[in-house]
Structure 1
Amino acid sequence: MRRVRPGVAAARGSTGGAGSAAPRTSGEERALTSVAAGERFRAQTVAESKGGQPVEIARLWHVTLSVSGEEAPVQEVRRALEQLAHDHPFLLTSRYAGDHAEIRYWEEARDLHDAAAVALRLWGEHRQTAGLPPWEIVGLEVIDRQTYHQRIAEGYGPAPATPVGVHPY
């Protein structure tokens, strides 16, 4: 799948044949299309239309954050991850080696964007307080609870996060 900015697809590689977009003139409005909203959005819209307060519907997201970088003493990595788990008891499990680690936990958030934003800040915001190595985030997976349990039931995907705690690879 190729992603492009609006108006660019017609300019690049377009032959002007059937199905191609007509060029827009400067200032011309672009018609937008929509995608059907889910049940959560409909429930929120109905509540708001009846004069109610906006409904915040939090969901659980399973987060796997992968980090790596320069080799660090394994004992220091373990101690830092244990400190992070102590500071934030929501962490389920961490696996580590001298040059990489994986942290798995459940995040409660309104949507995937919020859960991912929190996950992407986790390592950097706690690097100094927990003594984490100066590694970079190299992977992030955020899936909803239903998808997580479906993967487990089908025998693939991340294994259940047990035993809880900090463990070497």
Structure 2
Amino acid sequence: MRRLRPGATPSRGGAGPRAAGADRAPLTSVAAGDRFTGEEPADLPRLWHVTLSVSGEAAPLPELRRALEQLAHDHPFLLTSRYASDHAEIRYWEEARDLHDAAAVALRLWGEHRQTAGLPPWEIVGLEVIDRATYHQRLSEGYGPPPASPVGVHPF
């Protein structure tokens, strides 16, 4: 995760002194009077909890398990996958600027990894993307799925 110090603005590609960080405020110490306000710039990435549901024609369970394990290897933020012969649910954390970016990545995940991981030609039938605070609030109130434990690929 890329973090900027308070008051800094992200560089936006290109060449020249601005791209090298010349537009950023100079570093000063807390003792010099700079205090962090607790607010981060709005364009910093945030964590989003994603639940992706897919389904289609029945597939052999050993092949499906191997494909989901390969997906977990290819996509290291994958928390857990649950599967049956004709559907699966994948849960993971995505780092993105906003919900739209996290959802766009999630909607591409199955298709982009289908050949490399050997995933079946299923369609996405469900998608939930919630921010970290909402995820933890649901858990503390007893709603929503329990934390992804044990991590890994498991049958339903």
In structure 2, C-alpha distance between the alignment counterparts of 1:136 and 1:149, rounded to whole Å: 29
Quote the residue 2:20 is aligned against: none
Match for residue 105 of structure 1 among 76, 92, 101 = 92
Aligned position for 1:58? 45
Residue 94 (structure 1) shift: 0.2
What's the offset of the Cα at 1:89? 1.4
3-state SS of 1:141 partner:
strand
What are the residue-to-residue correspondences of 1:1-169 with 2, within 5 Å? Answer: 56-169=43-156
Report the residue type matching 1:158 in the other structure: P
CA shift, 1:87, in A, is 1.2
**Residue identity in the other structure for 1:120:** L
Q: Distance in 2 between matches of 1:113 and 1:158?
A: 22
Deviation at 1:55, TM superposition (A): 6.3
Q: What is the letter of the counterpart of residue 56 of structure 2?
A: G
* CA drift at 1:56: 2.9
Q: Which runs of 5+ in 1 are unaligned?
A: 1-42
Distance in 1, matches of 2:134 and 2:24, equals 31
| Consecutive aligned runs of 4 or more in structure 1 exceeding 2 Å deviation | 51-56
Q: Distance in 2 between matches of 1:52 and 1:65?
A: 39
Look up the equivalent residue of 1:166 and give its one-letter code. V
Gaps of 5+ in 2: 1-5, 11-22, 26-40
Identity within the alignment, %: 82
- C-alpha RMSD over aligned residues: 2.2
* One-letter code aligned to 2:54: V
TM norm structure 2: 0.74
Q: Distance in 1 between matches of 2:64 and 2:48?
A: 26
Aligned counterpart, 2:31: none
- Partner SS, residue 72 of structure 1: coil
The Cα shift of 1:88 comes to 1.4
Deviations 1:3-29 (Å, cap 9, x if unpaired)? xxxxxxxxxxxxxxxxxxxxxxxxxxx
SS at match of 2:154: strand
Higher alpha-carbon Rg? 1
